[in-house]
Chains A and B, each alone.
Chain A
Amino acid sequence: MSIISALSYLLIACGLFFFTAGTVGLLRFPDVFSRLHALTKADNLGLGLVVFGAILRQSELTVILKLILIWLLVLIASATTCYLVAESARRNPDVKESRNDAV
Chain B
Amino acid sequence: MLFDWLSFDLLLAIALIALAVAALRARDLFKGIVIFMLFGLLVAIAWVRVHAPDLALAEAAIGSGITGALFLGALSRIERKKKSTAPARLENPVGGSTSGAWTVLLTIVLTVQLALAVLRGWGYSDGLADEALSRIDESGVINPVTAVILNFRAYDTLLEIGVLLLAALGVYAIGEGPTVRNLQRTSRSEVLETFVHLLTPMIVLTAGYLVWVGYKEPGGAFQAGALLGGAGVVLLLSGRELPVHAARPGVRIVLGGGFLVFLLAGLAVMQDRAFLEYPRASAKYIILIIELACTVSIGAILTVLFAGCANLLTTPSEEEGT
> Which positions in A face B, CB cutoff 8 Å?
73, 76-77, 80, 83-84, 87-88, 91, 102
Contacts and interface: CB of A to CB of B under 8 A. Distances in A.
Contacts of B198: 76
A84 B194 CA distance: 13
A76 B191 CA distance: 10
Interface in B202-241: 202
Interface string B64-103: 0000000000000000000000000000000000000000
Contact of A80 (B187, B195, B202): B195
Contact of B187 (A73, A77, A88, A102): A88
Interface string B151-189: 000000000000000000000000000000000000101
A80 B193 CA distance: 10
Contacts of B192: 80, 83-84
B89 to A, nearest CB: 12
Interface of B: 31, 187, 189, 191-192, 195, 198-199, 202
Contacts of A73: 202
A103 B191 CA distance: 29
A73 B201 CA distance: 13
A87 B189 contact: yes
A76 B195 contact: yes
Chain B interface, >50% SS class: helix
- Contact residues of A: prevailing secondary structure: helix
Given A77-B195, A83-B189, A87-B187, 17 more contacts: A73-B202, A76-B195, A76-B198, A76-B199, A77-B199, A80-B191, A80-B192, A80-B195, A83-B191, A83-B192, A84-B187, A84-B191, A84-B192, A87-B189, A88-B187, A91-B187, A102-B31
B30 to A, nearest CB: 11
A73 B202 CA distance: 10
Contacts of A83: 189, 191-192
Contacts of A91: 187
Contacts of A87: 187, 189
Contacts of B195: 76-77, 80
A84 B202 CA distance: 21
Contacts of B199: 76-77
Nearest to A80: B195
20 contacts: A73-B202, A76-B195, A76-B198, A76-B199, A77-B195, A77-B199, A80-B191, A80-B192, A80-B195, A83-B189, A83-B191, A83-B192, A84-B187, A84-B191, A84-B192, A87-B187, A87-B189, A88-B187, A91-B187, A102-B31
Contacts of B191: 80, 83-84
- Most B CB contacts (10 A, CB to CB) among A73, A84, A88, A91 go to A84
A77 B230 CA distance: 14
Contacts of B31: 102
A84 B193 CA distance: 11
B58 to A, nearest CB: 19
A80 B197 CA distance: 12
Nearest to B187: A87
A77 B195 CA distance: 8
Nearest to B26: A103
A70 B10 CA distance: 27
B42 to A, nearest CB: 15
A34 B23 CA distance: 26
